[in-house]
Structure 1
Amino acid sequence: MNQKNPHSKIFVLAVLSVSVMITTGTAISSALPEMAKSFPNISVSQIDMIATIQQFSVMITLLLSGFISKKLGIKRTITIGLILTGVAGVFPFFSHSFILILISRLIVGCGIGLFNSLAITIIDLFYEDPTRSQMLGFRSATEQIGVSILNIVVGLLVLINWHASFLIYLLAFPLLAFFLKVVPEPPIPLGSDNNKQRINLPVLIMTVLLAFMVACTTAVIIQVPNIIVTDLSKSSAVSSLIISANTLMGMVMGILFGRIYRFVKKFILPLGILFMALGSLIMVSFHSVFGVTLGAVVCGMSYPLVGSYIFSLVSVIAPKGSETLANSTLLIGANLGSFSTPLFLSELGKMNSLTTHAGPFLTAFWLLIILTMIVLIYQTFFQKKVHQNIMN
């Protein structure tokens, strides 16, 4: 089959390959406890920033990627983004300076921000529904597959030393070569960006909710290595396997989202929040590898349901013609949630008397239960038949 045919398997794989690197920021979380030993004068929250600080620069370049792609073209912009991600991502392998490593992580964020939204845009431009909706689901699953595999690789590389874990960013280069060989410059509809766009209160509310849920999700990925290595005295390789199980569950739930939605409809939102609450409670209740693993897996069921539902609401809640801006706003909220996770964890830990690294999840549990009840009450008594306009 012609590989230039958008419906050929190789073309589909090439389009999806861009998304493999999007969520790799937290993939090196398993190496953070070992890294902390090399920087004894740096606080744990500052070390944790290595896994999240790139989200700050992602937010900035996310806003600029549309403008840059208009000037340079979508394919060139994605190329620059992947090159920046690969080069800056590998830099900590050679460096012993914490400040320079932080700067390199910011550059990684610049690279990811350039192709983050464009990974969705190229699907919008090459495909039409129902294939487009299916491809967006595959794209989300591709993110989870990528970070899951890389978590396992990091767990193996960290056995050498923490520097070696950053070699995972070399993957950006073969992915780029594959993408460049197969995917042509996508066609841009004339006059597609002439309308002035705006956001409204429902979009802002969903953005805040998404930021909170991403912060909870990222907290699991960041804190599991600390719980396993520091509290339970196990190896970083164990924590990487647990994180991989968490992300694999996210992949499965992402693939099953359509089927689950058809069964529970709009109540998929409180269900997703409830999974995060239950997973948090399990992690804080069972002081064992099994408990942490089970809790992390249950938490992994949450974000694919919440995130997919919120993004599917865009066509319903956003002002007409402002869907692109609404999607960008939601992505910024998601990245803000990830970036703020170290501070989020610190504040949650202060709200109860537990001293273990699992302690913040007790506070998270109660906040998530309250949020579940608020959303459930609103959807039961006040929300109209929004779900009729989704997934059709």
Structure 2
Amino acid sequence: MEKGERRFLKLTILSISLMISAASAIAVTLPMIKNQFPEIDPATVESLVTIPSFTMMVFILLSTFIIKRIGKKNTVILGLSLALIGGVIPIFVTNFTIIYLSRFILGAGTGIYNSLAISLIGEYYVEEEQQKMLGYQTAFSTLGSSFVTFLAGILVNISWNYAYIVYFFTLPIIVMVLLFLPQDRQSDRPAHREESSRPSKQRVNGMVIYCCLMMFVFFALIMTIYTKTSTLIVEQNYANQGFLGTGLTIASLLGALTGFVYGKIRHFLKEFTPVVALVFVSLAYFLIPYAKNMIVLTVILVFTFLVVGLFVPYMYDILLPGAPENSANLAVSLAMVACNLGSFFSPYILRGLGMLVGNEQTTASYTIGGIIYLFMAVIFVLFNMNTKRKTVLAD
């Protein structure tokens, strides 16, 4: 493959992640939709943001079987096409039922190609190059989501329908995949990841289960920032409370920068990358209840998102080579479902933990989260020690 082709292939694989998290971009349209459809229950209107997450989880699991039937490139094209159709339908219709169903289509399409945003990196890149690409993937996902959310916020001032124009950005990604992503070929895969030409049963192992559990807990706790911070600043009577949304956006965008340097940090910290990330996130959680003003809180949030950008790519970094042979797609699919389930059940988990320790105050959610993150860091240290011991014994 020529140097120019490799560059376009890399950009194409990364571009697949740009619209993965775009489902919530149209949250800004909800008040206008409620006004236009007063007969519709407000909770149903609000579910326009969350419905895609449900169908996404279902089709992330089904994507493994779709890939077997039509191949990886065709699966990406199918998923992106459905996401495009489901995303732009509300521009052209005023029937709420059709708009509602279109969100199911958007989630289904996104779920179909979601896991391939990661597994294609594992197929075409190894070692340090793979680490760099996983960091870039996290950054592209965050930047894409932030950009379309920002643009939707501008377009909604014309009409709420216009905000859905942002989903047309899926179209150039489809074109790039058609032009630059090769058809599934044996020769495209690294030698140590070669798959048999005969169909093989995909399965999971201890590494897959371990990664899924860690990611489930991580996302269940990280959602505290989104579900509890607004309550915290009201309870503590912060000034300029409306700045929270801007603060979260700034923190998210700056956090994406970590993805671009993840490869270098991973090379330096090696297997201690998640340990360092979890310790610093834990520290941030202990500090948030004592921020007392929006400036300090925003600084802590930026700090938190910077280290979060280390944890997620690291988990995929160990998952891809650690999954059973020919089972990378299934492993990534399960990990993504674990992330979504952790986010979905987060409010209930936080409430249950508060009841368990006899303290359901908002500040307690951060303290409990900080303690669990420290406990996770210890688990990673023990896991790494056990892995090294097995390696020495094997040698």
Is the pair's TM-score, using the shorter chain for normalization, greater than 0.5?
Answer: yes
Cα displacement (A) at 1:61: 1.4
Cα displacement (A) at 1:317: 5.5
1:11/1:182 contact within 8 Å kept: yes
1:214/1:303 contact within 8 Å kept: no
> Residue type matched to 2:5 in 1?
P
The corresponding residue for 2:336 is 331
Question: Are residue 260 (structure 1) and residue 265 (structure 2) matched?
Answer: yes
Distance 2:27 2:233 in 1: 12
1:72 pairs with one of 70, 85, 92: 70
Give secondary structure in 1 for the equivalent of 2:16: helix
The corresponding residue for 2:102 is 104
2:251 pairs with one of 246, 251, 254: 246
Q: Judging changes above 3 Å, is the alpha-carbon distance between structure 1 residues 158 and 14 closer, same or farther for their aligned structure 2 residues?
A: same
Distance 2:284 2:129 in 1: 33
**Which is higher, the Rg of structure 1 or of structure 2?**
2
Question: Are residue 6 (structure 1) and residue 9 (structure 2) matched?
Answer: no
Q: Judging changes above 3 Å, is the alpha-carbon distance between structure 1 residues 85 and 349 closer, same or farther for their aligned structure 2 residues?
A: farther
Cα displacement (A) at 1:305: 1.9
Distance 2:248 2:161 in 1: 19
Q: Judging changes above 3 Å, is the alpha-carbon distance between structure 1 residues 26 and 348 closer, same or farther for their aligned structure 2 residues?
A: farther
> Residue type matched to 1:304 in 2?
G
The corresponding residue for 1:139 is 137
Q: Judging changes above 3 Å, is the alpha-carbon distance between structure 1 residues 55 and 380 closer, same or farther for their aligned structure 2 residues?
A: same
Distance 1:98 1:234 in 2: 36
Please tell me the root mean square deviation across aligned C-alpha atoms, in Å. Answer: 4.1
Distance 1:279 1:162 in 2: 37
2:9/2:180 contact within 8 Å kept: yes
1:290 pairs with one of 266, 274, 295: 295
> Residue type matched to 1:299 in 2?
T
Q: TM-score, normalised by structure 1?
A: 0.77
Which whole-Å deviations, capped at 9, do the CAs of 1:334-388 have from their partners, x for residues lacking one? Answer: 122234456557768988565xxxx4xx343122222133234444567416479
Cα displacement (A) at 1:20: 0.7
Distance 2:95 2:351 in 1: 25
The corresponding residue for 1:367 is 368
Cα displacement (A) at 1:244: 3.1
Q: Judging changes above 3 Å, is the alpha-carbon distance between structure 1 residues 68 and 151 closer, same or farther for their aligned structure 2 residues?
A: same
Q: Judging changes above 3 Å, is the alpha-carbon distance between structure 1 residues 23 and 226 closer, same or farther for their aligned structure 2 residues?
A: farther
> Residue type matched to 1:338 in 2?
S
Q: Judging changes above 3 Å, is the alpha-carbon distance between structure 1 residues 382 and 320 closer, same or farther for their aligned structure 2 residues?
A: same
Q: Percent identity?
A: 27
Q: Judging changes above 3 Å, is the alpha-carbon distance between structure 1 residues 315 and 156 closer, same or farther for their aligned structure 2 residues?
A: closer
Which deviates more, 12-21 or 227-236?
A: 227-236
The corresponding residue for 2:192 is none
Which whole-Å deviations, capped at 9, do the CAs of 1:294-349 have from their partners, x for residues lacking one? Answer: 34323312432222222223267645665443333212211222344565577689
Give secondary structure in 1 for the equivalent of 2:203: coil
Distance 1:26 1:97 in 2: 20
The structure where helix makes up a greater share of residues is 2
Q: Judging changes above 3 Å, is the alpha-carbon distance between structure 1 residues 234 and 28 closer, same or farther for their aligned structure 2 residues?
A: farther
Distance 1:96 1:349 in 2: 43
Cα displacement (A) at 1:21: 1.0
Q: TM-score, normalised by structure 2?
A: 0.76
Unaligned runs of 5+ in 2: 188-194
Q: Judging changes above 3 Å, is the alpha-carbon distance between structure 1 residues 209 and 379 closer, same or farther for their aligned structure 2 residues?
A: closer
Distance 1:277 1:165 in 2: 37
Cα displacement (A) at 1:171: 0.9
Number of residue equivalences: 379
Q: Judging changes above 3 Å, is the alpha-carbon distance between structure 1 residues 225 and 14 closer, same or farther for their aligned structure 2 residues?
A: farther
Distance 1:99 1:66 in 2: 30
> Residue type matched to 1:77 in 2?
T
1:158/1:164 contact within 8 Å kept: yes
The corresponding residue for 1:203 is 208
1:155/1:241 contact within 8 Å kept: no
Distance 1:347 1:29 in 2: 28
